[in-house]
Amino acid sequence: MKKYLDKAESLIGSSGRKGILRREFKAINEDYLNHAEDFFETSEKALEYLGVFDSEKVQGYLSRKNKLREVYARRMMELKRAVFDREKNVKAHEVRDVVTYSLGRLEDIAVRIGNVTKNSKYKGILEREEKRVLERLAASSPLEIESGDHLGQYFRALDDEDSASKLKIYTQEKRSMLEHLAKLSYSMDKSATIPFVRKVLEKEKDQRRLSLLFHGLYHISEKWPEKYFLKLFESEPNSAYGLLTDVSMIRPLIDKRFEENVNGLLRKGAAYEIDERYEKILIKHGIESDSDIGRYLHLAGLQGKEPKEKSVAKLAKAKSQMARFLEELEKNGRNEALAEKVKERKERIASAISREETSCIYGLMKSLYEKAIEDITDKPVSYENLNEDMINAILTYRQIHQNRTLLKEIITDYTEGTPFKFYSKGANKDFIRDMKAAGLNMKSWSRGIRRTYSPEIIEDVMGEKNRKVKEHELEALNIYQSLGYDIKKEDIFDKYDDLVNKGDADQDVLLDLKTQLGAIEELENATYNSNLSDIEIYMETDPLKILQMGNVVSGSCLGLGRGNTWSTVANAADANKKVLYASMNGEIIGRKLIAINDERKIVQFRTYNNRLDVDMDKLFGNYLSDLSKEVKAPLGYGGSVPNLVSQAWYNDGTVSK
């Protein structure tokens, strides 16, 4: 064995030695199969052996279909088992081929690479092996990688550095969510998965959006006909992605009737009556009846559209040609050119039907959306596009009791194109007048300013994580105390289950408690990404986007369904309250509520920060210094912040920074 290993490199490099090489391989593999356990007692020998077979020439010889290849595949399966932690529960004959086996151990290969020293000869062997597995994977079976961490390597194996670089700026949490999205799409339709993941990387930067898309795709996979969406994605990627985005947004509004209508639209095999004038077109092209074109006409009719006879004639011609090509194939046997023509016509017809199906589904979503708004405003509305912020406002309206009348007014004003109308009413109008009289620049307060800052990095990330965990633990303990329970920190999770089971606690308080406990769990599992860029801080002026203030950050009790959602309405409507957002790479990473108190000073409330490695307090502090100068109002602490037009407001106390 040692002799073989010593001479292997010279054998591989020698010309005219193919026969010798083959005999050597055969002998060494037979010897291996008989003495595998003895030989692989040390992983070093196994790695050296793997290194011999890593040569491109050897790979070339073994790529041909012969007995040697079969022996090699068996040897490789056992070899990988020996190198990568010896899976006792996997037998060689149970593994279909070397790629399948290697794929299952990709995590182990990566771990082993990380463990060997930089200068070790084994590191190179492992890296080449990992690269070959990824390349084979990319060419054969899309995206069966178990870990989101390997998605970047996967795209590099496809020579797609653009997607790999986009993935690089994702945090671990976002990679994990993308991994779930990729696996779900793979379970629905393997062939569409990679283009779908590419599109997600192109469009999405926000973890919340990834979560939204996952739930939307899951809804489609569960409720709609099998493979509908991803087959649409193959033929019409932009249209399909737009459809998924809108379904993801409107999903909470979907009812049973909507699902029945969608499934009725997408159900295949129904017979359709065809108008006489279209029937003549079919006969002209030698088609007596056709369910595909009948379906196309039916879908157009559902939308109140009158299909052009020219469009129908094109489809009829494609159908007639396809039938003729299929007949020729049946007579003359295999013909790639004809098969390609059949495929092209088939796709053309399917694409026309898909467009009408999608258009019908949009019509159903539009009706659902408009009806939800009309139920609030008591006025008919018409919209071409769905608005995620409006959908959040609708859901907020359905959940809250406090400030509900005010939210109805905000939504009504928004639909009428006057979203800031409430600023000119009652207490808001009086507040703005009084502040102007006191010398404050209310234009700067109403419109805000935008500032861009370099990120302030927190070096002690673990310390920051622990500090935030303690904040949420204290919040949870205070909530327990308000409910009459004096408990220890280590019991905060167990006691919550007891409260839920008893069923006598205030639901809003329970939701707030659940939010704090959820934030602790999130933080304990959180990671961070060192890819930082400039951060823009701005004052949000759109009332519907202000209503999202609890959804865009983690750990907030103002999020939808989290107990104090009603208070977002006060923050959107009262002229003395403003919401600041911090954005990096197109994603909101921080939020702060500010206000003008009864002493005419700008006060601030707790900072919410989605990043463990960025000192958001300092950046918001810089922004507030600039805003104070623009508004001509000093920064302060404490004092009273009254309700103006809102009926109720959750005041969690001002902070000094």
At 215-254, the pLDDT tens digits run 999 999 888 887 788 778 877 888 888 899 999 999 999 9
Instruction: Specify the amino acid at residue 232.
Output: L
**Which segment of 3-7, 288-292, 295-299, 500-504 scores lowest on mean pLDDT?**
3-7
- 387-457+532-657: CATH number: 3.40.630
Residue type, 445: W
Entry pTM:
0.71
Q: Which carries the bigger pLDDT value, residue 295 or residue 404? A: 404
Q: Environment class of residue 507 by beta-carbon count within 10 Å: exposed (0-12), middle (13-18) or buried (19+)?
A: exposed
Higher pLDDT, 504 or 142: 504
The predicted-structure confidence for 69-82, as pLDDT tens digits, reads as follows: 555 555 555 555 55
Query: Per residue in 539-592, pLDDT tens?
Result: 999 999 999 999 999 888 899 887 899 999 999 999 999 999 999 988 899 999
Q: Which pLDDT value is given to residue 497?
A: 78
Q: How confident is the model at residue 123 (pLDDT cuts 50, 70, 90)?
A: low
Token match 């959006």: residue?
Answer: 209
Q: Is the model more confident about 94 or about 504?
A: 504
Radius of gyration of the chain (CA): 32
Q: Each residue of 410-427: pLDDT tens digit?
A: 999 999 988 888 788 899
User: To the nearest whole number, what is the mean pLDDT of the chain?
Assistant: 78
CA–CA distance, 116 with 123 (Å, rounded to integer): 6
pLDDT at 160 over 50: yes
Closest by Cα among 349, 313, 342, 346 to 327: 342
Identify which of 576, 595, 574, 568 has the alpha carbon closest to the alpha carbon of residue 422. 574
- Token pair for 391: 């959908």
Phi, psi of 614 (to 5 degrees): -120, 130
Residue 636 zone, left/alpha/beta (φ > 0; ψ -120 to 50; rest): beta
CB-neighbour burial class of residue 123 (10 A; exposed 0-12, middle 13-18, buried 19+): middle
Q: List beta partners, residue 453.
A: 535
Give the three-state DSSP class for 596.
strand
- What 8-state DSSP symbol labels residue 225? P
- Mean pLDDT calculated for residue range 269-290: 73
Tokens 């404490």 belong to residue: 638
Are the beta carbons of 601 and 586 closer than 8 angstroms? no
Calculate mean pLDDT across residues 359-368.
Answer: 92
284, 310 in Cβ contact below 8 A? no
pLDDT digits 0-9 by tens, 592-610:
999 999 999 999 999 999 8
Surface-to-core class of residue 534, CB atoms within 10 Å of its CB (0-12 exposed, 13-18 middle, 19+ buried): exposed
